[in-house]
Amino acid sequence: MFTLIKLVQSLFGALHSEGTPGQLAAGIVLGSFLGLTPLINFHNAIIFAALVLLNVSFAGGLLGWAVFVPVGFLLDPLFDWIGHQLLFAEPLRSVWTTLYNTPVVPLTNFNNTVVLGSLVFALVFALPLFFATRWAVARYRVTVGERVRQSKWYRTLMASKVYNVYKLFKP
């Protein structure tokens, strides 16, 4: 329940934040990396650091993460297939062999079919997701955004203490 409330708070907090649609979209894109790829991996530490350090919507990141976790689970067979195709592609073998025998790189688990497949998918998906989200947020704010902000339930939701945590990282 707490998670759900937090998610809804994040959603509306992000939508009505002072951040631009671009910041929110960038946050969601970074969050989608966390959700689409298996979490405990080296690249996700970098993504998380980027989400915290870059001036993007942290709430958008949390939102993207939460939304794309189930998507990631659903698409795991596809990621596995993509990773398998890439890792066993004859023209790429020398690249993988070099990377595999280079210090630190193997710690990224790039040689796991699901990790590589999901990361490649997330990278390819990042630009369309960014532009689509940016457009959708802008449209929302222009159309129904102000009415929602004035509504009673929105103010109740945002009065929750959990919202304060979010405010720490608002753009």
Nearest distance from C-beta of residue 8 to other proteins, angstroms: 24
- Considering the complex, state which of residue 90 and residue 150 has its C-beta at the smaller distance from other proteins: 90
Specify the residue for token string 């959700």.
Answer: 35
- Considering the complex, state which of residue 8 and residue 49 has its C-beta at the smaller distance from other proteins: 49
With 0-12 / 13-18 / 19 or more C-beta atoms within 10 angstroms meaning exposed / middle / buried, residue 88 is exposed
Tell me which residues touch other proteins (CB under 8 A). Answer: 18-20, 23, 38, 40, 49, 52-55, 72-73, 76-77, 79-80, 83-84, 87-88, 93, 96-107, 109, 111-115, 117, 168-169, 171
Nearest distance from C-beta of residue 76 to other proteins, angstroms: 4
Q: What's at 98, amino acid-wise?
A: T
Nearest distance from C-beta of residue 134 to other proteins, angstroms: 13
Nearest distance from C-beta of residue 151 to other proteins, angstroms: 25
- Considering the complex, state which of residue 53 and residue 159 has its C-beta at the smaller distance from other proteins: 53
Pick from 120, 154, 101: nearest CA to 43: 120
Residue 78 in contact with residue 114, Cβ under 8 Å? no
Q: Tell me phi and psi for residue 112, to 5 degrees.
A: -90, 130
* Inter-helix orientation angle 58-87/42-53, to 10°: 150
